Structures are given as structure tokens and as C-alpha cells.
Amino acid sequence: MRTGRPTLSRPPMSEPPCTPRLQLQLRATPRWLDGSGTSRDLPPQDGLLLAWLALEGASPRARLIALLWPDKAPDAARNALRQRLFQLRRLCGADLTEGTTVLALGAGVTHDLADAGSVLEGVEFPLGTAAATWLEQQRQRRRARAVHALVERSEQAEAAREWPEAIAQAREALALDPLSEPAHLRLMRLHYLAGDRAAALLAFDACERMLKDEVGARPSPEMLALLDTVQRTAPPAPRTRGLPVSVLRPPRLIGRDAERRALREALAAQQLPWLFGEAGFGKTRLLQEAAAENPGWVVAQARPGDGPVPYASLGRLLQAVLAARPGLRPVMEQGQCARVLGQVTAALVPAATPERDLHQVLAQARTLGLDVLVLDDLHHADEASLEMLLALTTEATADQPAWVFASRSADGGPALRQLHAALLERVRLRAIALGALSAAGVQEFVASLALPGLDAAALAPRLYRHAGGNPLFLLETLKALLLRPAGAQGDTLPPLDGIAQLIGHRLARCSPAALRLARCVALAGPDFSTALAIELLGVGTLDLADAWAELEAAQLLREQAFAHDLIHDAALASVPAPLARQMHGAIAALLQQRQAAPERIAAHWSASDTPAAAVPHLLAAGERALAALRPREACMAFEQAARLLEAQGDRHAAFEALDRWFTQAAPRREPDTLRLLDQLSAWADSPLQRATAAGHRAAVLERAGEWGSSGDTAAHALSLFEPHEAPELASGLMLQVAVGELHQGHADAALGTLFRALALAEVAGNDRRLAETVGTLGNVLMWVGRLNEAYPHQLRGLRLHEAGARPTGMLTSLLGCTGNRLEVGRHREAAEHLALADRLALQHELELSQGWPIFDGHRARLALDLGRFREALPLLEVALERYRADQPSQVIAVHNQLTRLWMRLGQWARARQSAQAALALSDEAAPVYAARALELASEVGVAPRGAPTPLAVYDEIRQRYGHATQRIDFALRLGRARHVPGAGGLAAVRALRDEAQGMGHGALTLLAEMRAIDAARRASDAEAAAEHACAALRLFETHEPYGAYRAEVWLAAASGLAPLDPPRARAVLAAGRAWVQETASTQVDAPFRESFLTRNPVNRELLSLKLQGPALPT
């Protein structure tokens, strides 16, 4: 157990400039906005904390802890709250909260929740928690208040017989409360009163579907009575005359000259243009016309239905690129590009991302005259495509095509928001907003159509008031006006109570064959093809051609897709639910025969009358997503399969489906993960399944750095069965118990557990589990300082994975082997392991930084120890970013490395900043990292309170952490011994040198020899100093000193040799000086070169000593 809290004094932070006013935006995604207009998103937990304080007022810390961290131990939860408040202050540069025991919003902090319609809309917390319950109560209150206000306004408009306004308010009320039958009834009645029989019937159909699908009930007698009234009303006579072609496709794009100019200017300035605009504002038309004028442009669109299929949207763009530049086919149909194109199966795809191959393809495309890539309708794009677009755009080079994006809004899903935010930060993003047409623009628009019998000057003002400046709304209003039945009132514009309804009326006027084809296109979505339509509709090619031509002539279809999303929605809504389910089943069967992507087959089976048929395809989709490194999509597929199996009553199979995801995906501790863990536990129907579920929970906790909870959970799982009943499961659980014991400082217990786990793994018959167990045992032996004993186990794990042809397992083993060699100072061998990892990654097209980010940490440490600072700094910065997202327990280790780097570069302010960051994490960190953080903090001038001497510093650190592992204790004793005066110090260091030799730890032995030189000099023992200097130089030929700056070896050795062997001392000194000067010129960036040479005390002394004469270090 830890014996006390660290008492390091931390210098007061300089106060940032006071921000006069901070506004919290808490309606949806939480963010803060300062007085200068700067804004930044806040994490969901911080948003919840601030929303609570905004609505509930000042609250005790205990209440907030129970709300935010109900599952944490009290001490851990209190520390978590302190950390969140500290991070909030760093993020915003001011205090958002105030108070100690009771917290409240800070003075001058405002928020937007007073009249908000929701609270943290889109932010979710695990069901059943206090946070989720409170949040839902707040949202329900606001929805009820908003619905009440809308109903009142609708009733006022109804009393004034203002039907469009009454219907619009009723629609908004229904959107807020879609499960309310009275809301549906109100809308249906208003449509009937407004004289729109078809809309009233559609409103009834929507209500009936909702009641059946969501509530399991039939319409009320009142609703049925209204239906009878509507049905007894005669329908309007059909009108058959056609529409002028100018209405079907306006001859000119009106009112977009400024946007065209902005697009050209952005590309000329090497900016990334992103067009924003509401549906119907002309984004697609503008891009299509720009592409028509520029043969070097390629345009593609994301489509509804792309979401479940990784890389569906990006693959469509690449297909368009391939069609425009066929010469790219050889390079695009090999490697990882083929997976994005959708031309290989998951079984053939290694777990890698296609980023590298895509960069090569884009560079080659540029040489073939492809200048600009355009992806439209990004709000429909799948998450994998959006993430890949982020990598392709932020890492693009000058020899690649430029990019243009378009979407309805950047406030779409999380991936779209992340793409937009990242592009704002990393590239020169140019937002181009398409607004509504002005009144003058509407008049020009109507005049450009040259409609016979219509006075544009007289009609345009009424159209502008009626439909606003949305070009699509204007066109649909004009179409409805032109298609009115003969004898209809000529002075009244058609009601604009829903653009989808107007489009629906236009679809209803198509021939039966064309309407059937439109519905087929809508139901098939991105899976539509002419071959599928012929087979599904049972028609000949010529019959289909007539229907196709009719839809294209009406500007409803364009290039095997709808001309607009709203047309797709209207066509889909026109299919009765029972028929839609039947059609989806037929589509799924056809796609299954054609071996289409399992994600698409599953989507159609799920929407059919037999959703259970989707299960095998969902499982296959999950496996494909995992192979593509898309754990989120995999989770959705496995969970949906499990839910369908549960609905069939097969809870055992449901458990196994979800178990497959947890086994392969290694998910992080997130609300969705915890929710699924609870579900998995609920489905467990045997002791082994309950133990398996607990094992997955332990693994999630372990990855989150909650080692104590992880170990306890795994120990509970082991108590549910006898190990001999399932030796493979038992050995895996024992691994988790051991890791928990290790991080709690019980190294001996951890090793005992691991040896028992190894015995079980030897008889389990699973060589993968055996390799994992052997490797973990080796890593733990390394962790506790038994490095020579650890290395054979680590190598055995590597060989077992190699024999099983498991490159990912080999890479995991190489992580341990590399770490071992770095620990003992065998950096050449570590570099060989890293080179082998690189070869494996290249051979199997694996991304090390994605799957094994600790390799970045090893590379950084190797570079730092060898003085390759220019290489080490970006590696550490990347590692810090990745660990924050994926392995927060390792963040303190990176801060420790950064502290060392800045010390070497003579950047002491930065070193202290990194040390402070490490100290802030030390309470919850592993002992080896926490001890190092405290030691480094003392070295950069942050001394413990009440510990005025270096000896006292080391005594305090050792009291807290020295018991954890042999390595920690040894390093702390050696650090302490260097400050013991006289002969006692030399004896202490020599004893530690002998101990390090017994451990077989060359790096610590070298460090001890260096410290022995200093101790001998302090004891005025020149012979001993020279002896240790010679020993240090011999070791330095094969080892690097543990945690020390390598130039210290030359300085210490020269100091030890100077009294008895001046010539050799000068030679050693010359070698050290040459290394420092060479390093400064080749391995240190220019801004740090001067401080490296003059503010690094070792370098300064090396360079100031004379090579000739008596000025050698004595």
C-alpha cells in the first residue's frame, strides 16, 4: 500500500490574463465562448457538470461526485473531480467554477439554458445512471414546454384560418413528440380543414405505422372517425399536362456569383473550400457546373445508406476517379486501395489503414491531370470515410489534387464535426455559406424560367413571401402551381406545408411503371442498379427504359440516383410499410445471391419481415469492420445481431455474438462500452459466461488504467468456476489479476499468479493464449527488474506467435522485447527489434501507430537516449496525443520523457512545465512512473515541502514508492547515494554497482560506475575514480546509461582519469566534445541549439574545458 501522498511543493502558476466574460453553450454539444469570439468544445462530462451547476445552482462536491463518477471509489472520484476542474481552467484560461466544499458557476460565466429547448442534445450517458436520469428529466421538461407553446400558436393560426401557419406549428410539435397520437390527429385534422385530402391520408398512415411499430396499438376511435370523414371526401381530379422544361432544370444558376468567386479564390490560395447550405440551396448544382468548366475536377456524392459500410463514400469517389483516369487502375486495384474500392473480401484484408496507398494514388492522379477532388453531401458519409478524409487532407502534399467539400451543415454526426474542427485547426479551411436568394434574386430566378402566362415581376414578390429564397422550394411551388387542376383558384399559391408533400404529389402523377421504379430506387438505396431493378420488378430492359426516361425527364432521377435527397425521402414515404418490408427482403435475397457486402445485405434483411435473417450477415459485417480497424462499426453490427438473437429468445447466442466483439475489439472505457458490458452480464446464463463477461469488464478497466478495479473484477470472475473447467479462460483472468497486483505494488504476488496462469496455458491447448501468457510473464519480470530472466520468456512469446503466423502477436511481443533491451541499455538490439517490427508492418500492411502506439514511445526513448533530439520531440508529441485518447495511463510516462528531453536541450522552463504535468497525474499513476516524475521534478527545481536536501527528497520518494519493484528501489537508492558525502558515499555506490551486476542490468551498472567516479572524487580517491572511469568506458561500448544523458559518461570518465592519466582523459574529453558539437549541428533544431550548448550544464562544462594544459576536470 502507498504510505502517504507526495509532498512536492509546486511553484505557483502564473496567472493568465483575466477573461472578462465566458459564455457556456450547453443546448447541444457543450462548448465555451470567450469575449473575443474564441470557442472550443468541452468533454461530455465537463458539459454535464456545468449544466448541473447552471440549472441546479451551487452544489456540494459530494453530490457532483455521485453524479459524475458513481462507480469510482470515493478517493478516486474526488481526485477525478479535481483533475476535471484543473483541466477546465487550463482549457479556458479562467475559472468556470468557484467554491471549495460547494461548487457554483464562476462570476461572469453565463449560459444558454434559460430558454433552451434541450440540454446537451446528442450527449448521452449510460442508462440507469443518475446523470442519464437527470438529463432526460431536463430534456422532457423542455420538450413539453416547447410542445405546449407550438400547440398554442397552431390553435391561434387555426382560429384565424391561416392553414399554412397552423400546419407548420403542428408539424414542429409533432417532431418534438413523434409518439403522441393527439399530435398526429391535430396535423391530420388541419390538413383536412385546409382541403388537402392526400396530406390528411398520409398523416393517418404515418400515425398508424407509429402506433403499430412503436407502441403496439391501433388508432383511437377519434382518429378512425376522422379517417372515415376524410375518405368520404371526393379526391381532386387528376391533371395530366406536363411541365415546362425550364422548371424541370433551370437554365441558369441564379444568385451564386459570389460563391463561385469564393470557390475559385480559395483554390487559388491553396485553401480547402467547404460549401455549407440548407437542402435545395444549390450546392450540388454549383459544384457540377464548376466541374463541367474544369476537366481536371472529379465530383462524387455521399448517399443515404452509406453509414454502415466503412469507406462507402470515399470508395464512390475513388470509383469516379478511376472512371475519369483509367490509367490509375493498376495502382488502385492493389494493396489497401482495393479495400476502399470494395473489391476484396474481409478475409483477404490485413488489419491496416489504406492511408499510405491512397496518398500514392493521389500523387499519381495529379500527374495525370486530376486537379480537384469534390465530395458532396458529406452529411451522409460513413465514419470511416470521414476519418480517412481527415488524414488525406491534413497530410496532403503539393503534388496531390486539391479538395472541395460540401454538406448541409458541419453540425452533423460526431465524425463530421470532428473533421470540420480538425480542418479548422490544421489546414486553411474556407467556409463558403450558400444563403437564400434575395427578393431581387427570386425575381431574376423566376424571369430566367420564361414561363408562359406568368408575370415574373408580379409573381416573384408573392413567391418570396410564400416560399422564401430557397431555390428548391421555389421550383416545387411553381410546379405545384402549374400542375393545379383546371378551375382551381388562380390567385392563390399552393400551400407550402412541407416540401416533401409537394414532391410526393409530383411523384404520384408519374405513370405506374415510373412510380414503381422510383420506389425501387428509394428502397434499394446505394445498392440500386439496373440489373437489380429488372430482376426485382420483373420487367424487361425496354420496359424499364421507358420508366427510367420518364423519371429523368421529370428531373427526379439522375445517374442511377435521385436528383435530390428530398425526392428520395418522398419516394420512400410513398411505399406502404408492409410492402416496403417485403421489398427489402427481396432486395436482400438478390444481394445475397450476388455476394454483396454483408453490411448492405444485413441492412435490407433488418428492414424486412424476417429481420432474423440479418444475423449471419451482421456477424460477417462485424468481422469485416474489425479487419478494417473500424471498432465502432463492428460494435454496431455485433450488437444488432445480438439484439435480433435475443428477440428470437436465444440469449445464449446473443451472448456469444457480443462476446465476439469484446474478444477482438479491445474497447475503451466509454459509456457505450459499459452499457454493453451490463447487457452481456444480463445475458450470461452459466458460471462460465458470467466469468467471461466479468473478464471483459476487467480488460476494459485495465485499459483505462483502473488496475485495482480490474484485478478485483478478474479475481471475482475466477471465483465463479474451477480453473480446470476452462483453463484458457482461467489463464486469461489470471493475467488480469496479475496486472492489477503489479500496479498496486504487489510484484511477488503478481509473479506467483502469472506462473499459475502459465501452467494452465501450457495445458489449455491454445498456442495463442500460451504466447500471450508467456509474453506477459516476461513483461512483468521486466517490470520488476528481473530483465535477464524476462528476456527468454519474451523471446519465447515472439517465437510462438511466429510459428502460428500471427504478425499482430509478433508485434505485441516485439513491444516487450524492445522495452527490455532499452531498459538494460542494449539500444542496438532494441533498434534491431524495431527494424523487425517495421519489416513485419510493411510485409503485412499494418499500421504500427494505429495498433501499437507504444512503438512510438520506444522510438522516442531510443532517439532521446542516443541524442537524436530532432527525431525524439515529434515522436513524443505524437505519443502524447495518442496516449491521451487510447492509453491515458501512459501519459505520465511521456511527460517524464519530455521533461528529460527539455533538460537535455537546456529548456528549463519547458522541463518544469512537463514535470508539473507529470506530477498532476502521479497520484493515480503506476509506481514506476510516479517515482520517476517526483525524481525529475526535484531535478528541475521543484523540491518537496519539508525536504530541503537532496537526501530528504530521495528518502521521501523511496518511502512512498520504493517497495513497488526492485528496479524502482534500486534507482532511488542509487540517486540517493550520489549525495552521500565522503567514503560512505563511495561504499554505498559500489555496493549498488555490485547489485546491478548481479541483476545483469548493464544500463544500471554503467550508471552506478558513473556515480562511483563522482563518489570517489568526493572521497579524494584518485585510483578508485580512475578504476571506475575505465569500467564505465568499457560498458559504454555496448550499453547506454540508465536514464542519464550520454554525454555525462565522457565528462565523468574524463574527470576520473584526469589525475592519473591526463592523455587518456583528454582523448575522452575530445570524444565527448565532438559528439556534443556534431549532435548540436545535426540533431538539434535551430531554436534550441544555443540553449543545448550553453544551458545544458554537462555540455557547457565539456565545451569550456581545455584539451591541453592543466585545465582538465579535477
Give the pLDDT band of residue 829 (cuts 50, 70, 90): very high
Q: Is 885 exposed, middle or buried (0-12, 13-18, 19+ CB in 10 A)?
A: exposed
More confident residue, 349 or 689: 689
Average pLDDT over residues 706-717: 89
Name the least confident of 75-79, 436-440, 1026-1030: 75-79
Of the candidates 299, 248, 274, which has an alpha carbon nearest to the alpha carbon of residue 430? 274
Grid coordinates of 936: 525529475
Please count the other Cβ atoms lying within 10 Å of the Cβ belonging to residue 224. 13
Give the pLDDT band of residue 47 (cuts 50, 70, 90): confident
Angle 570-573-578 from CA coordinates, rounded to 5°:
155
Give the pLDDT band of residue 70 (cuts 50, 70, 90): confident
DSSP 82-120: HHHHHHHHHHHSS-SEE-SSEEEEPTTEEES-SS-S-SS
For 822, the 3-state DSSP assignment is: helix
Average pLDDT over residues 1061-1089: 94
Of the candidates 197, 256, 199, 280, which has an alpha carbon nearest to the alpha carbon of residue 231? 197
For 281, the 3-state DSSP assignment is: coil
Over pLDDT 90: what percentage of the chain?
28
- With contact defined as beta carbons under 8 Å apart, do 723 and 730 qualify? yes
For residue 162, pLDDT over 80 is answered with no
Q: Alpha-carbon distance 944 to 417, whole Å? A: 44
**For the CA atoms of the chain, what is the radius of gyration?**
35
- With contact defined as beta carbons under 8 Å apart, do 121 and 30 qualify? no
More confident residue, 391 or 249: 391
More confident residue, 137 or 234: 137
For 402, the 3-state DSSP assignment is: strand
Q: Is 900 exposed, middle or buried (0-12, 13-18, 19+ CB in 10 A)?
A: buried
Average pLDDT over residues 783-787: 78
Give the pLDDT band of residue 335 (cuts 50, 70, 90): low
Q: Alpha-carbon distance 154 to 172, whole Å? A: 10
What phi and psi, each to the nearest 5 degrees, are found at residue 369?
Answer: 90, 15
Give the per-residue pLDDT at 233. Answer: 64
DSSP 895-926: HHHHHHHHHHTT-HHHHHHHHHHHHHHGGGS-
For residue 699, pLDDT over 80 is answered with yes
Name the least confident of 1-5, 348-352, 895-899, 998-1002: 1-5
Grid coordinates of 249: 432544370
Name the least confident of 425-439, 589-603, 679-693, 745-759: 425-439
Grid coordinates of 540: 424487361
Which residue, chain included where needed, has cell 448521452?
A: 124
Length of the chain, please? 1114
Q: Alpha-carbon distance 979 to 989, whole Å? A: 10
For residue 822, pLDDT over 80 is answered with yes
For 24, the 3-state DSSP assignment is: strand
Give the per-residue pLDDT at 11. Answer: 32
More confident residue, 436 or 372: 372
Q: Alpha-carbon distance 897 to 891, whole Å? A: 10
Give the per-residue pLDDT at 8. Answer: 28
Angle 255-257-260 from CA coordinates, rounded to 5°:
125
For 432, the 3-state DSSP assignment is: strand
Look up residue 841 and give its DSSP letter: H
DSSP 1008-1023: HHHHHHHHHHHTT-HH
Q: Which amino acid is at 171?
A: R
Name the least confident of 15-29, 421-435, 520-534: 15-29
623-659 pLDDT tens trace? 888 877 678 888 899 999 999 999 999 999 999 999 9
Give the per-residue pLDDT at 687. Answer: 93
Q: Alpha-carbon distance 66 to 72, whole Å? A: 9
Grid coordinates of 914: 512537463
For residue 211, pLDDT over 60 is answered with yes
Give the per-residue pLDDT at 564. Answer: 65
Give the per-residue pLDDT at 929. Answer: 84
- With contact defined as beta carbons under 8 Å apart, do 554 and 506 qualify? yes
911-938 pLDDT tens trace? 999 999 998 888 878 777 888 888 888 8
Q: Is 74 exposed, middle or buried (0-12, 13-18, 19+ CB in 10 A)?
A: exposed
Average pLDDT over residues 713-730: 92
489-502 pLDDT tens trace? 455 666 555 555 66
Give the per-residue pLDDT at 113. Answer: 82
Give the pLDDT band of residue 1082 (cuts 50, 70, 90): very high
Partners of residue 297 on adjacent β-strands = 372
Give the per-residue pLDDT at 309. Answer: 80
Which residue, chain included where needed, has cell 476542474?
A: 85
Grid coordinates of 731: 489463464
Average pLDDT over residues 208-237: 77
More confident residue, 372 or 765: 372
Grid coordinates of 591: 444481394
DSSP 465-511: HHHTT-HHHHHHHHHHHHTSPTTS-TTSPPP-S-HHHHHHHHHHTS-
Give the per-residue pLDDT at 862. Answer: 94
Name the least confident of 60-69, 965-974, 1054-1063: 965-974
Strands 402-407 and 272-276: parallel
Q: Alpha-carbon distance 216 to 1007, whole Å? A: 75
538-563 pLDDT tens trace? 887 777 887 888 887 766 776 667 76
Please count the other Cβ atoms lying within 10 Å of the Cβ belonging to residue 228. 8
Q: Which residues contact 1079 (CB under 8 A, 6 or more apart)?
A: 867, 869, 1092
* 3-state helix, strand and coil shares in percent for the chain, rounded to the nearest 5: 65, 5, 30
733-750 pLDDT tens trace? 998 899 888 877 788 898
Give the per-residue pLDDT at 805. Answer: 85
Q: Which helix (H) or strand (E) holds 982?
A: helix 982-999
830-849 pLDDT tens trace? 999 999 999 988 887 777 77
What phi and psi, each to the nearest 5 degrees, are found at residue 788?
Answer: -70, -35
For residue 1025, pLDDT over 90 is answered with yes
